Amino acid sequence: MNNCGGDEFSDNEDEILTTAIENFEASLKPNSSVAKDEELRTPLERFRPGYLWVSDLTRQNWCEQQVYYSFTVPAIVEENPVMTEGSSLHLARELAVHDVVQVKVTSNEDIWAIKVLNLLSSLISLLNGQTVAREIPIFGAPFDEDVFIVGLIDELRFDPTSFQLDLWEFKTRKYKNMPSKAQQAQNRLQVMLYKKLFDDLVKGKLTKEVIAKHLKLDMNRTFGSDIQATIDDKCLTGTTLNQLLDILFIRIQCITCIKEIGIEYEHQGSKESLGMNSVDYDDEELEKLFKNYLEFWRGRREVKGVEIEEAWKCQSCDFADVCDWRKRKAEQYSQHGKKKI
């Protein structure tokens, strides 16, 4: 399936794993739980487990209609994501700074404990003098919109002398050129969202109540034995999310908000750097965009496809043959052309 945004590869094995677990859990639910009229449910309720991934929003930035079809046109939906060259490069970079450990999970609380532990480990390593941390889970409910967002930051770079923390997203490209403006806009949105989520945590804006409510977690459920052993190995204390999150909130406030954000592009074949785009963070712009995107997820407006100036995106879209938006736009355009003549 065409990954909206061209030939860059998603870094989100984490997302794939979680989605697989959620799909499996959904398949175990009795029919009565899906009896609610589909039409009455919002896209957030129908397609997502109560929260969104940062990649849902960046894909929406490319084409919202395409996101909608990716959930509703099953014949084209990718069923077996494979590890690509891009994702294996991400893994190699991750392994360069820390080991990947297999852990057995026994509950949703265990899954979220892994995310919290990975974030905590990165923070602790930076506070202990390491200058780079990779593949850092991040989450929050930005702009008081009551929608929970989850992501995975590629890289944090910390300068212990100036106490400056920067965030970089690593993108690999099949072709030896910089991405289009539209792809760069997607990547810009991605790093701005990561910064927003991270800074909100540093500023103490996220509470345990909000996390528990959106993720439907039991904050006092005791972790499984593998998670507990991992916590002990890291010389941390805590047997529940309630306790682990307290540690996270304290530790993250010992670090600073993110200063610089940017995207680094690398050619897959030659591993040559294609360039580094520094991004100017704009809180107002992000809030406006975010609120607009949420209107779709809350079912408050019709789904939108690309505007005529971006119709070139349709040429490489898997849904071009079935896309109503594209047909409607083509008709409008030809009517408009006739009137002019």
Min dist. Cβ of residue 171 to ligand SF4 (A) = 20
Strands (E), the chain: 51-53, 132-140, 148-159, 164-173, 258-267, 273-279
**Cα separation, 64 vs 144, whole angstroms:** 23
Which residue among 313, 330, 331, 336 contacts ligand SF4 (CB under 6 A)? 313
295 Cβ neighbours under 8 A, 6+ residues apart: 301
- Distances from the Cα of 87 to the Cαs of 91, 178, 239, 267, 292, in angstroms? 6, 19, 33, 13, 30
Mark the segment that binds ligand SF4 (CB under 6 A) among 58-66, 158-166, 185-193, 226-234: 58-66
Q: What angle do CA 217, 287, 151 make, to 5 degrees?
A: 40
Q: Which own/partner contact pairs does 281-288 have at CB distance under 8 Å and 24+ positions apart?
A: 281/192, 281/195, 282/192, 283/196, 285/192, 286/189, 286/192, 286/193, 286/196, 287/143
Considering the rule CB under 6 A, would residue 320 count as an interface residue with ligand SF4? yes
Residue whose CB is less far from ligand SF4, 124 or 314:
314
Complex with ligand SF4: residue 164 or 335, whichever CB lies closer: 335
65-124 residues near ligand SF4, rule: CB under 6 A: 65-66, 69
Question: Of these, 53, 148, 265, 319, which contacts ligand SF4 (CB under 6 A)?
Answer: 319
Query: Does 58 contact ligand SF4 by CB under 6 A?
Result: no
Q: Which is nearer to ligand SF4, 158 or 319 (CB)?
A: 319
The residues in 286-305 that bind ligand SF4, with binding defined as CB under 6 A, are: 305
Q: How far is the CB of 306 from ligand SF4 (least distance, A)?
A: 5
Applying CB under 6 A, the site for ligand SF4 has a residue count of 14
As a whole number of angstroms, the distance between CA 83 and CA 22 comes to: 20
Q: Can you give the binding site for ligand SF4, defined by CB under 6 A?
A: 63, 65-66, 69, 305-306, 313-314, 317, 319-320, 323, 325-326
